[in-house]
Structure 1
Amino acid sequence: MAKYLYKLGKWAVRHRKKVIGGTIGILLIIGIIALSLGPSFSEDMSIPGTESAKAGKILEKEFQTSKKPAPGTVNLVLKAPNNQTLETKEVADIINKTIDKIKKDKSVVSVATPAELGNYNKNKQIGYAVVTYDVPAGNVTDRSKEIILQSIKNTRDAGIQTEIAGTVAFSELEIGGITEVIGVVIAFVILAITFTSFLAAGMPIITAVVGLEVGILSILIGTNYLDIPSFALSLAAMLGLAVGIDYALFIISRFRQELSKGHSLQEAVAIATGTAGSAVVFAGVTVIVALVGLAVAKIPFLTMMGLSAAVCVFFAILIAIIFVPAILGLLGHKIGPSRENKLLAILSNKKEVKESSKWGNFVTKRPWTVTILGVLILVMVCIPFFHMQLGLPDNGTKSKETTERRAYDLLTEAYGPGYHSSLVVLAKTDKNSGDIKQKINVVTEELGALANVKNVSPPIPNKSGNTYMISITPKTGPDDIQTTNLVHSIRKLSDSLTSKDQIELLVTGSTAVNIDISEKLNDALPLFATLIVGFAFVLLVIVFRSILVPLKAVLGFLLSLGATLGFVVYVIQDGNLINLFGFPTSSPVLAFLPVIVIGILFGLAMDYEVFLVSRMREEFTHSKDAKKAILAGLKDSGGVVTAAGLIMISVFSGFMLAPDPIIKSMGFALTFGIVFDAFIVRMALVPAVMTLMGKAAWYLPSWLDKLLPNINIEGTTIQTEVDERYKNNKKKIPTRVKTDRVHE
């Protein structure tokens, strides 16, 4: 592969203007197509095959009168001023005027007042009106939303607290806000320190943004044909930007090294593409495999999230090995050979700068101390992981600055936390089996007698009379473990009723669906983690021709993964330090977050392992000195891995500042996942443990060595050929010409 990439690098330099122009042209074409089609995200997070999904289909079939999608609704949650009620004449008049104003919108089918719905709370201070549109929630226009916002100013000005709930979203998800810009600015500063050049620092960001735009626009086009959730776009943007910058960083760093050796600009670009480019392709494909591997869980929306992020990583790879070399061919002579690297200077020992670094000397002289301390830190942070509770976000997890969260709190105040966790139970039976109504009434009584039930509605039959719909309101909220236990209790009751009275109970509703999704994802974790770890071990055995190095790598990955999820539980679920990190309230861990973290962190961990340990293997192959190999790896690759890790952290932390709880939690988890893996595991535990293993780290049975394919990701073959060719040419070229080649 290295030879093909070497040739690709040369081709990109020769045709740099065509490559750059063609890339911009492709971007414009994709942009025009994406804008013409528009986005069409799917918010369906159901999982086929679960009991709640099965019940949902029956509910739709037996009780939905129209086959059209459900119309969008807006609930205006109202709270009267102190010492007044919603029935007070002045208050009621203002509410009626507001509703009359909303009715003028031609998209509005009907508006039901709190009085008409009879939904006042006990003191009649809180209630809600329901606005129904003639289109699904996703198709309600911005103009209609603006009419709602303008209309409720009347009630708010009169002292009536008015908040918005319902299926129509008002706090929209945004990509590319100020928080993401902050992350990019920090990344630019890190690159400027690394390259000691503002031009060189800007190049990885510009090329990463180009790749990201192609990826994001491709996903937007895909939303018209695939069921892609909106938050998949944020995950793809987060990962695509981070790896795009990192991959360009690796190639540009190698390019400057080769330029400083005296190679021509074209040759330096070709070598960088063949060597660092090989590692980039390998690392990128590893990330893609991990993301595509999310399909193992057989959860549609999770599969789409993985595929969307994989698309952005794929374009990041193409940009790194084609577009970056073309840009270097055009501007490479302006960034020049590597000057003194400030980041490496911080880590370097001036007295031993040619062989080692300060950090390398520290770790190799105290391997037991570093190993024990590193493992203890990670194990301690892992502990909260063992009481992790999964769930899905709702309006109750949003910031109190959003109207949806304030509406959620008002409804809780009025009707209790169970209002948000209502369950729909379908009682199915054979219409010819005895007195159906009497049996259903007995079932309703049994449901009401279950623990944690606040009230049960009268059963409603379908047209054929063999299925009854029963609504249950629990005493606890949707994220409470007692609500989950109630769902299981209903299903357990169904088992006994099916055998005794031939009545089957099916539970659905958003709360039951979320519980099933969380449990399904929790069940998928062990299988997915096992497949990922097994894949990593086999892959690294092939790459590093060793047994112990891959074993150490996967054990380190498991430690960093456990620490990441443990810290997520400690902050997000247990509520520690939530103010520091800007979380509005404690809540269960996002149901699909552990699977996402496993997939992404695995890919990035293998990136750092490859870039760091491949240099160690290269040195050990030549010197057979294990300690010297470790020092060389930390000195030559440690600074780049450190910079790459800091860039990842800066980009992910930018998303961590986003207000949306889904994006915020993903940014938080990935930020600290990189902290634990890049800096504790890869930069500390890896060299420390390899120092303890000595030469045994590189042992591989000869019979196994013969069986394994040879993957030369370091590109040592082309490096040897180029160096040999350069030495031969150097003898034939006059001094003045050799000097000119450096600046070519």
Structure 2
Amino acid sequence: MSSFLFRVGRFSFRHKWWVLGVWIAALAVVFSLISALQPKFAQDFEMPGTDGGTAMEQMEEYFPAVNQQQTEASTNIVIAADDGLAKHASEIDSLVADLKKLPEVTGADTIANPVTVAQAMPDKAAAVLGDDGRVGLIALHQGIDLMDVTVDDKDAVLDVLAEHRTGGLQVEATGGVMSAMEQGGTAELIGFAIAFVIMILAFGALIAAFIPLVTGIVGVILTIGLLTLSAEFMSINQTATAIVMMLGIAVSIDYALFIVSRYRTERARGGDPADAAARAVGTAGTAVVFAGLTVVIAVAALTVIGIPLITQMGMGAAVAVIVAVLGGLTLIPALLGAFGKYAFTPRIPWIKHAAPGPDTETLGTKFGRSVTKRPLPFIAGGLAILIAAAIPASGMKLGMDTVSDDQVAGQELIAQGFGEGIGGELYVVLHTDDGTIDTVATETIDSIKKLDGVVAPATLAWMGNGTADPKNPNVGADSAIIVVTPISSPSSDETHTLVEEIRDLAPAAEAAGGELHVGGQTAIMSDLSAKLDSALIPYIAVVVGLAFLIMIGVFRSLWVPLIGTLGFVFSVLATFGITSWIFTDGALGLIDHTKPLLSFLPIFLVGVVFGLAMDYQVFLVTRMREEFMHGMSAKDAIIAGYRHGARVVSSAAVIMISVFAAFMLAPDTTAKMMGFALAVAVFFDAFIIRMIVVPALLALLGDRAWGLPKWLDKVVVDFDIEGSKVRDAGLLTENEDLVEAK
């Protein structure tokens, strides 16, 4: 492989303008198609093959009007007054009048003062007025597709609410247009700015620091463009873009940093610049390919879970990594060729050891000598830190609470007046192919009324799809919907239990001649959590197993992959612990509203962090193996690995941590939590496991770390990860013979 990549690097360097032109053309084509097709991301969660997914499919088929209503913005306006809403009739009437003036309001007659509704229709009082008349609920429905809701729509509602928060009346909102999020950009800009500063420190030159930044920008823009374009042909949830942005920026810059750093080393060795670029791609590029491959396996394997959102995240992230690898192998040498002799100018004179020589004593080599001299204290200290950080993971709670901070006040008022389940209704869908649904629907309602955790069970009713009498759709209906509001919050264990208890009524419905399914976003989230729980262990087995086999081929060792994999276990458990401590326990006050970890976070974190962990394993340890294979002792090879790799790996890790941590500034909870967890995971894995524990264990093992059993050595393919076939290509020998790539 190194010989092939050598040729790719030399071609890209020498034909720089063609290569750059191809990348620019790719961007132009993708965004021209986006402009022409105007694809849109989905914002709903789909779960095909589950009970909730079946319910939603039947709703779409038998109750298209109800299903259409589900896709439009329905915002709950919550009002409250400590002295009772009845004393604020005029203020509430004024609020209702202004709400009716909002754009695309449908069913304006249903927007009413809850006090007036309760007085006129006592049977509906419990649905609109709660907490002894101190909390009221106003339903605002707008004919705006949830996929098209904008921040302007949200601001229009918020402006009305702000105007009417007077005289002791509290006015809040949840759901509907409140789901609109501010456009991203701040986090990405901060991440790029920090990355640029770190690369200046790493290279000691401005242009060299700029090159990986360009690669990162181009790679991320192209990936997001491809993901956006794919939304025209398949359902792509907007949530999937967050992790693609995070991972795409981080790995693009990391891979570019690794190759540019190796190019600087090869230029110092002499020879033609094109050959130096080729050697950099043939050696460091080989490591990048296998590092990228482990990440791709880790994130693409998320498809085995069978959840569309997780599949979209995984495949989007895999595309981001592939684009980053291609950028490192072609775009980087092309940019180096374009800048030519100016690539490492202007130099920053006060930055020392930007280009360490073979005998340079850097901080990395000093630390490496300490680790190899007394490895046991470093191993014990590193693992002790991770074990302490992992302790809170024992109480880790999972859920699908994705409510943004500006909806929390409204949710708390709803819970105070009506229970936490308002806005998280369950849709019980009944259907029969034999006659009418009347008997099945009536018996099902009677059974649901006996269940715990249902709001106002006495008011439960069913709605049919009969067409004979428009005023009474229950006549001649073969399908029915029962809307059940749980008392508990949508993400709680109690609601999950209620969903399963209703589904347990399916055999009775079947005996009566019908079928029963429970849908709605709350039920879908419940199915999502259950499916994730059951898929976690098989997923880990697939990812770790495949990556372990690849690492055996990369390092031609059993010990190195084994140590790397076990180290990952420690770092990911520590990450679960710290993230739970911050977001669920509320430690350090970093977030205003505590909540359980997102149900898909553990499984996604395992995939992404395992891939990234192997990145750093490859970047640092391949240089150690390279020096060992070229004659150094085991301990000297480790120190040499620190000399050449510590600065690059540290810089890459800090860049990735900065990019991920910057996403804590994002407005949605998903991006905040994932950004924090990924940043902490990279810190633990890069600085404690890869930079301390792994080299210390390799120092203990000595020469044994770098060998395979004879029987296995014969069957494992030699990928030439250390680039021995191209290590000296383009350089003159002592007899002044030019070395060619093999």
Residues 71 and 52 of structure 1, relative CA distance in 2, 3 Å threshold:
closer
Q: 3-state SS of the aligned residue for 2:85? A: coil
Alpha-carbon shift at residue 405 of structure 1 (Å):
3.0
Alignment RMSD (CA, Å) = 3.3
Residues 337 and 197 of structure 1, relative CA distance in 2, 3 Å threshold:
closer
One-letter code of the match for 2:147? Answer: G
Alpha-carbon shift at residue 136 of structure 1 (Å):
2.4
Counterpart mapping for 1:332-347 below 5 A: 332-336=340-344
Residues 153 and 368 of structure 1, relative CA distance in 2, 3 Å threshold:
closer
The whole-number CA distance in structure 1 between the counterparts of 2:419 and 2:455 is 10
The whole-number CA distance in structure 2 between the counterparts of 1:554 and 1:443 is 51
Q: Does 1:666 align with 2:684?
A: no
Asked if 2 retains the 8 angstrom alpha-carbon contact of 1:428 and 1:466, the reply is: yes
Q: Does 1:408 align with 2:417?
A: no
One-letter code of the match for 1:225? Answer: F
Deviations 1:129-183 (A, max 9, x none): 3343445232357776565455445434676443333433454252212x33222
Report which stretch shifted further, 621-630 or 126-135: 126-135
Deviations 1:541-580 (A, max 9, x none): 1111111111111111222222222322222233333x23
The whole-number CA distance in structure 1 between the counterparts of 2:14 and 2:607 is 38
Give 2:549's match in structure 1, choosing from 538, 551, 556.
538
In the other structure, the counterpart of 1:695 is 703
Give 2:247's match in structure 1, choosing from 230, 239, 244.
239
One-letter code of the match for 2:540? Answer: A
In the other structure, the counterpart of 1:425 is 428
One-letter code of the match for 1:155? Answer: H
Residues 428 and 625 of structure 1, relative CA distance in 2, 3 Å threshold:
same
Asked if 2 retains the 8 angstrom alpha-carbon contact of 1:348 and 1:357, the reply is: no
The whole-number CA distance in structure 2 between the counterparts of 1:186 and 1:502 is 64
Alpha-carbon shift at residue 501 of structure 1 (Å):
6.3
Alpha-carbon shift at residue 199 of structure 1 (Å):
2.3
In the other structure, the counterpart of 2:8 is 8
Give 1:477's match in structure 2, choosing from 489, 496, 499.
489
Residues 377 and 474 of structure 1, relative CA distance in 2, 3 Å threshold:
same
Deviations 1:483-510 (A, max 9, x none): 2223333334555x46976776533332
Q: Does 1:449 align with 2:450?
A: yes
Report which stretch shifted further, 136-145 or 48-57: 136-145
Alpha-carbon shift at residue 664 of structure 1 (Å):
0.6
Alpha-carbon shift at residue 520 of structure 1 (Å):
0.3
Residues 9 and 440 of structure 1, relative CA distance in 2, 3 Å threshold:
closer
Residues 247 and 356 of structure 1, relative CA distance in 2, 3 Å threshold:
closer
The whole-number CA distance in structure 2 between the counterparts of 1:493 and 1:163 is 37
TM-score, scaled relative to structure 2: 0.88
In the other structure, the counterpart of 2:640 is 632
The whole-number CA distance in structure 2 between the counterparts of 1:349 and 1:366 is 25
In the other structure, the counterpart of 2:121 is none
In the other structure, the counterpart of 2:303 is 295
Report which stretch shifted further, 639-648 or 16-25: 16-25
Asked if 2 retains the 8 angstrom alpha-carbon contact of 1:348 and 1:359, the reply is: no
Give 1:574's match in structure 2, choosing from 561, 564, 585.
585
Alpha-carbon shift at residue 336 of structure 1 (Å):
3.6
Q: 3-state SS of the aligned residue for 1:720? A: coil
Alpha-carbon shift at residue 292 of structure 1 (Å):
1.5
Unaligned residue ranges in structure 1 (runs of 5+)? 732-744
Alpha-carbon shift at residue 448 of structure 1 (Å):
3.3
In the other structure, the counterpart of 2:561 is 550
One-letter code of the match for 1:114? Answer: A
Asked if 1 retains the 8 angstrom alpha-carbon contact of 2:149 and 2:180, the reply is: no
Asked if 2 retains the 8 angstrom alpha-carbon contact of 1:74 and 1:164, the reply is: no
Alignment: residue pair count: 717
Q: 3-state SS of the aligned residue for 2:401? A: coil
The whole-number CA distance in structure 2 between the counterparts of 1:41 and 1:212 is 17
Residues 338 and 132 of structure 1, relative CA distance in 2, 3 Å threshold:
closer
The whole-number CA distance in structure 1 between the counterparts of 2:322 and 2:427 is 43
Q: Does 1:129 align with 2:129?
A: no
Asked if 2 retains the 8 angstrom alpha-carbon contact of 1:290 and 1:599, the reply is: yes
In the other structure, the counterpart of 2:264 is 256
Residues 519 and 553 of structure 1, relative CA distance in 2, 3 Å threshold:
same
Report which stretch shifted further, 712-721 or 114-123: 114-123
Q: Does 1:559 align with 2:580?
A: no
Residues 432 and 530 of structure 1, relative CA distance in 2, 3 Å threshold:
same
In the other structure, the counterpart of 1:112 is 110
Residues 99 and 652 of structure 1, relative CA distance in 2, 3 Å threshold:
closer
Alpha-carbon shift at residue 589 of structure 1 (Å):
1.4
Asked if 2 retains the 8 angstrom alpha-carbon contact of 1:371 and 1:684, the reply is: yes
The whole-number CA distance in structure 2 between the counterparts of 1:339 and 1:67 is 63
Q: 3-state SS of the aligned residue for 1:697? A: helix
In the other structure, the counterpart of 1:512 is 523
Alpha-carbon shift at residue 727 of structure 1 (Å):
6.2
Deviations 1:514-554 (A, max 9, x none): 11101101111111101111112111111111111111111
Asked if 2 retains the 8 angstrom alpha-carbon contact of 1:79 and 1:86, the reply is: no
Residues 322 and 193 of structure 1, relative CA distance in 2, 3 Å threshold:
same
Give 1:527's match in structure 2, choosing from 529, 538, 541.
538
In the other structure, the counterpart of 2:499 is 487
Alpha-carbon shift at residue 729 of structure 1 (Å):
5.4
Residues 382 and 727 of structure 1, relative CA distance in 2, 3 Å threshold:
farther
Alpha-carbon shift at residue 678 of structure 1 (Å):
0.6
Deviations 1:422-464 (A, max 9, x none): 333345679779x964x86565444333343443243315344
The whole-number CA distance in structure 2 between the counterparts of 1:17 and 1:346 is 29
Alpha-carbon shift at residue 245 of structure 1 (Å):
0.7
Counterpart mapping for 1:92-491 below 5 A: 92-102=92-102, 105=103, 108=106, 110=108, 112-115=110-113, 119-139=128-148, 147-152=156-161, 154-156=163-165, 160-169=169-178, 171-177=180-186, 179-336=187-344, 353=361, 357-395=365-403, 398-399=404-405, 402=406, 404-426=407-429, 437=439, 443-456=444-457, 457-460=459-462, 462=464, 463=466, 464=476, 468-491=480-503
Report which stretch shifted further, 587-596 or 22-31: 22-31
Alpha-carbon shift at residue 52 of structure 1 (Å):
1.8
Deviations 1:582-602 (A, max 9, x none): x23221211221222122112
Residues 410 and 309 of structure 1, relative CA distance in 2, 3 Å threshold:
same
The whole-number CA distance in structure 1 between the counterparts of 2:146 and 2:180 is 13
In the other structure, the counterpart of 1:737 is none
Q: 3-state SS of the aligned residue for 2:41? A: coil
One-letter code of the match for 1:449? Answer: K
Unaligned residue ranges in structure 2 (runs of 5+)? 118-123, 467-475
The whole-number CA distance in structure 2 between the counterparts of 1:140 and 1:537 is 45
One-letter code of the match for 2:374? Answer: R
Alpha-carbon shift at residue 617 of structure 1 (Å):
1.3
Residues 120 and 639 of structure 1, relative CA distance in 2, 3 Å threshold:
same
One-letter code of the match for 1:471? Answer: V
One-letter code of the match for 2:421? Answer: G
The whole-number CA distance in structure 2 between the counterparts of 1:58 and 1:356 is 62
Asked if 2 retains the 8 angstrom alpha-carbon contact of 1:70 and 1:136, the reply is: no
Alpha-carbon shift at residue 98 of structure 1 (Å):
0.9
The whole-number CA distance in structure 2 between the counterparts of 1:597 and 1:382 is 15
Asked if 2 retains the 8 angstrom alpha-carbon contact of 1:191 and 1:201, the reply is: yes
Residues 109 and 420 of structure 1, relative CA distance in 2, 3 Å threshold:
closer
The whole-number CA distance in structure 2 between the counterparts of 1:257 and 1:383 is 43
Alpha-carbon shift at residue 16 of structure 1 (Å):
2.0
Residues 200 and 172 of structure 1, relative CA distance in 2, 3 Å threshold:
same
